[in-house]
Amino acid sequence: RKEVEQDPGPFNVPEGATVAFNCTYSNSASQSFFWYRQDCRKEPKLLMSVYSSGNEDGRFTAQLNRASQYISLLIRDSKLSDSATYLCVVNNYSWGKFQFGAGTQVVVTP
């Protein structure tokens, strides 16, 4: 079993709609969580950190469920520019142990 698992998608989303997807992790000692965005195999870019109480950044909402060991990302009012692959990242504060999911592809259509 992979340490971090994501539904690869693609999630095809009409412009203006809401899309949500999860990422599950296997290491219960994981302490920090992030969502990254990656376009066409360019470098991943930090979208947002994920905090225990959940957090929002504009149209993006991230949640953490420690009991079930998953994090989620919700995108509201999807824009064409949101089309990308979203990578889930977890870390247990061990400096070599960032675990990346393989990514969830989101395609926003007009």
Partner 1 sequence: DAGITQSPRYKITETGRQVTLMCHQTWSHSYMFWYRQDLGHGLRLIYYSAAADITDKGEVPDGYVVSRSKTENFPLTLESATRSQTSVYFCASSGDVGNEQFFGPGTRLTVL
Return residues touching partner 1 (CB under 8 A): 31-32, 34, 41-46, 49, 87, 89, 91, 93-96, 98, 100-103
Nearer to partner 1 among residue 43 and residue 81 (C-beta): 43
Q: Which two tokens stand for residue 55?
A: 């957090």
In angstroms, give the least distance from the CB of 103 to partner 1.
6
In angstroms, give the least distance from the CB of 18 to partner 1.
25
Nearer to partner 1 among residue 18 and residue 94 (C-beta): 94
In the block, residue with structure tokens 């259509």: 109
- Contacting residues for 2 by C-beta, under 8 A, at least 6 apart: 26, 101, 102
Ramachandran angles phi, psi of 55, nearest 5°: -155, 155
Nearer to partner 1 among residue 18 and residue 97 (C-beta): 97
Nearer to partner 1 among residue 40 and residue 67 (C-beta): 40
Q: Which two tokens stand for residue 51?
A: 């905090």
In angstroms, give the least distance from the CB of 88 to partner 1.
10
Give bridge partners of residue 48 from the DSSP assignment. Answer: 35
CB 15 within 8 A of CB 80: yes
